Amino acid sequence: MGWGDAFTGAGVLIALIALLYTRSVSRRQTELAQQQTDVQARLTAIEEGRRADEVEARRHARVVPAFRRPEPNRLRFVLTNQGPAPARDVRCQLEALDGRQPPRVVGLEALPVDLRPGQSMEFIASAGLGMSTLIRAVVTWTDDAGEHEEPFTLNTL
């Protein structure tokens, strides 16, 4: 066996190793391409779900009650639509949680009302000695998604 045969054998061995390496790299690239396709499909599904959630959320109003004190001796009861959809037929019932008398809210008889997104309706309220400071407010309204009723616990202090 001469040097020529040794070089030929070495060349064949190197070509075989290169072929195996190329095959391994090709498989890995195919796997990576499949993984990228799977990830892209999942991202697309997540994005479609997020868009559907956004569309659904635009149908919902969220009417939130609060007692506010614009000045130390003045008390106001406020209903605010914090949602992106109009709230129709907004109503509110107040009751004291401790069995005492709830604060007087002037004008609640004007309900039901409609509130646009971001719109508030303010009522004069008065709380005196012996009146409850912990109030349960149950707000009901209708929006594009249907009828809603949500209870809140409020503090007049």
- 53 pLDDT band, cuts 50/70/90, is low
**Same domain, yes or no: 41 and 69:** no
Bridge partners (DSSP) listed for residue 124: 76, 106
- Edge-first strand order for the sheet with 113-115 is 113-115, 87-96, 134-143, 146-155
Report the pLDDT value the prediction gives residue 2, as an integer from 0 to 100. 65
**Same domain, yes or no: 91 and 34:** no
Q: What total of structural domains would you count in the chain?
A: 2
- 113 pLDDT band, cuts 50/70/90, is very high
Decide: helix, strand or coil at residue 35.
helix
Residue 109 predicted with pLDDT over 70: yes
Least-confidence region, from 1-5, 69-73, 149-153: 1-5
Q: Report CA 89 to chain centroid distance, whole Å.
A: 24
For residue 76, give both structure tokens: 């106001």
**Same domain, yes or no: 79 and 114:** yes
**Same domain, yes or no: 51 and 74:** no
Task: Print the domain residue range for 84.
Answer: 63-155
- 137 pLDDT band, cuts 50/70/90, is very high
**Same domain, yes or no: 87 and 138:** yes
**Same domain, yes or no: 49 and 70:** no
Task: Tokens 């997104």: give the residue.
Answer: 117
**pTM for the structure as a whole:** 0.65
